[in-house]
Amino acid sequence: MEEFRKSFKEKNPNNKSVSVVGKAGGDKWKSLSEAEKAPYVAKAAKFKTEYTKKIAAYNKNQSGGGSHAAADEDESDKSKSEVNDDDEEEEGSEEEEEDDE
């Protein structure tokens, strides 16, 4: 379609309709022989293989990252300063207990 769009635009510079270009592209594709379609079909198969590998890797990362996501959710409820404040309060309460003795 990319190649066809370029040539169609050169031949029809005043056409602004996407649907006309799409229809003409479909008609052109139907008129091509199997031999003429072969390079495009091979290119599409190559892109599909690459896509399949990438989506499999993405899905693997998504399913493997579940344990980290739960820990991040707990921490995301508090800002870093609030988390540090909690640590300081715990340390302070231990010191108070020592002073009471």
Kindly tell me if the per-residue pLDDT of 13 is higher than 70. yes
The SS3 call for residue 2 is: helix
**Higher model confidence: residue 72 or residue 1?**
1
- Read off the DSSP letter of residue 14: T
Please state, in angstroms and as integers, the Cα–Cα distance from residue 51 to each residue in 38, 46, 63, following that order.
20, 9, 18
Instruction: List the domain boundaries for the chain.
Output: 1-61
What percentage of the chain reaches a pLDDT higher than 70?
63
Structure token digits, residue 45:
């198969």
pLDDT at residue 23 in the model: 93
For the stretch 30-79, pLDDT in tens is 999 999 999 999 999 999 999 999 999 999 999 875 444 444 445 555 55
Kindly tell me if the per-residue pLDDT of 99 is higher than 50. yes
| Alpha carbon distance 62, 1 (integer Å) | 34
